[in-house]
Amino acid sequence: MLKPKTRIQERNSRAILEAGLEVFSSHGFRGATLDQIAEVAGLSKPNLLYYFPSKDSVYLALLEQLLETWLDPLAHMNPEGDPIEEVLSYVRRKLELSRDFPRESRLFANEILQGAPRMMPDIAGPLKTLVDEKVVVLTRWMAEGRMAQVNPVHLIFSIWSLTQHYADFDAQVRTVLGPGHDPYAEADPFLDHLFRRMLQPG
């Protein structure tokens, strides 16, 4: 990516990333074309390639800026807080992320579905490290009898799965619910009940 110096560079770089997110998230890496991205960004294809040297570089720039946002809610789970409330607010933040950034969620889902060809280092690195760290905290909470004993890694998987489902399978969710439903507004109390019941000690 061109280091933005002028206002016009700043604006075009942003437009390309925004368009790339739109197109990559709904068609996958291979399914997306530079023609589409350029059109959505309101630029010509050669002009797009003036800002980013290749299709790959647009995609990688998107993945890069995605990871931090994605890990942030888990990173903020406070080891000194109340165990169940900490998990519940993690769930809520993750659900809000799905609601507010569904395209980012689908971009990520697409990448993992294909076996994470370009993101594996991040998953085996920062992501795994953060999970390992939080597993220690969850395990302590369970040992102290402050939440039910469940497999802590799978607890984290269940949070990812249940919240991301609303963004990733949006088409199915909305069709099955039918018109006049707000999936996220309904999911919030449902997930609250689910995790509260599951994690209640004893």
Partner DNA sequence: GTCTATACTCTGATAGAC
Partner DNA sequence: GTCTATCAGAGTATAGAC
Residue 177 partner contact from DNA, its own copies, none using kind-dependent CB cut-offs of 5 to 8 Å: its own copies
Q: How far is the CB of 8 from DNA (least distance, A)?
A: 5
Interface residue with DNA among 1, 18, 45, 192 (CB under 7 A) is: 45
- Pick the piece of the chain touching its own copies (CB under 8 A) from 13-21, 41-49, 72-80, 125-133: 125-133
Number of residues that bind its own copies (CB under 8 A): 51
The CB-of-4 to its own copies minimum distance in angstroms stands at 31
Site for its own copies contains 31 (CB under 8 A): yes
How far apart CA 59 and CA 80 sit, in angstroms, is: 38
Can residue 119 be called a binding residue for DNA (CB under 7 A)? no
For 169, the token pair is: 């399978």
Closest CB to its own copies among residues 38, 191: 191
Q: Say how far apart CA 13 and CA 22 lie, in whole Å.
A: 14
- Give helix 55-75 / helix 83-100 axis angle, nearest 10°: 150
Q: Measure Cα distances from 5 to 8, 81, 96, 131, 134 in Å.
A: 8, 43, 33, 37, 40
Residue 99 contacts its own copies per CB under 8 A: no
Pick from 42, 33, 35: which is nearest to 14 by CA? Answer: 42
Helix axes 102-113, 152-168, angle to 10 degrees: 120
Question: Out of 44, 161, 175, 200, which residue is the one contacting DNA (CB under 7 A)?
Answer: 44
Piece of 43-51, 66-74, 142-150, 191-199 that binds DNA (CB under 7 A): 43-51
DSSP string spanning 145-199? TSS----HHHHHHHHHHHHHHHHHTHHHHHHHH-TT--HHHHHHHHHHHHHHHHH
Q: Which residues bind its own copies (CB under 8 A)?
A: 26-31, 106, 109-110, 112-116, 120, 123-124, 127-128, 131, 148, 150-151, 153-155, 157-158, 160-162, 165-166, 168-169, 171-173, 175-178, 186-187, 189-190, 193-194, 197-198, 200
